[in-house]
Amino acid sequence: MTDPNAGPLFDDELEEPPEVVFGGVAEDSDVESGTIYVLRSKSDHPAVEANRNLLHKIGVTGGDVQRRLANAKLDPTFLMAEVETIATYDLYNINRARLENLIHRVFAPARLNIEIKDRFGQPVIPREWFLVPLFVIDEAVERIKDGTITGYVYDPGQAKLVRTA
51 φψ region: left (φ > 0), alpha (ψ -120 to 50), beta (else): alpha
| Mode of pairing for the β-strands spanning 152-155 and 32-41 | unpaired
Distance CA 107, CA 37 (A): 15
Count the residues in the chain. Answer: 165
Average pLDDT of span 88-112: 93
* Crossing angle of the two packed helices 134-146 and 96-106, in degrees rounded to 10: 130
Question: What pTM does this model have?
Answer: 0.81
Residue 34 exposure: Cα atoms within 13 Å on the Cβ side? 16
Confidence grade of residue 3 (pLDDT, cut at 50, 70, 90): very low
Distance CA 12, CA 126 (A): 30
Cβ neighbourhood burial of 24 (10 Å; 0-12, 13-18, 19+): exposed
The answer on pLDDT for 133 being more than 90 is: yes
Share of the chain above pLDDT 70, in %: 81
Predicted pLDDT of residue 91: 87
Predicted pLDDT of residue 165: 73
Q: Give the residue, 111 or 90, on which the prediction is more confident.
A: 111
Confidence grade of residue 23 (pLDDT, cut at 50, 70, 90): very low
Residue 147's H or E segment, with its range, is none
Task: Write the pLDDT tens digit of every residue in 25-79.
Answer: 455 556 678 899 999 999 999 999 999 999 999 999 999 999 989 999 999 999 9
Contact between residue 118 and residue 76 where contact means Cβ atoms under 8 Å apart: yes
Predicted pLDDT of residue 5: 44
The per-residue pLDDT of the chain, averaged, comes to 85
Q: In sequence order, which ranges of 27-133 are alpha helices (DSSP H)?
A: 46-50, 65-68, 96-106
Domain ranges of the chain: 32-163
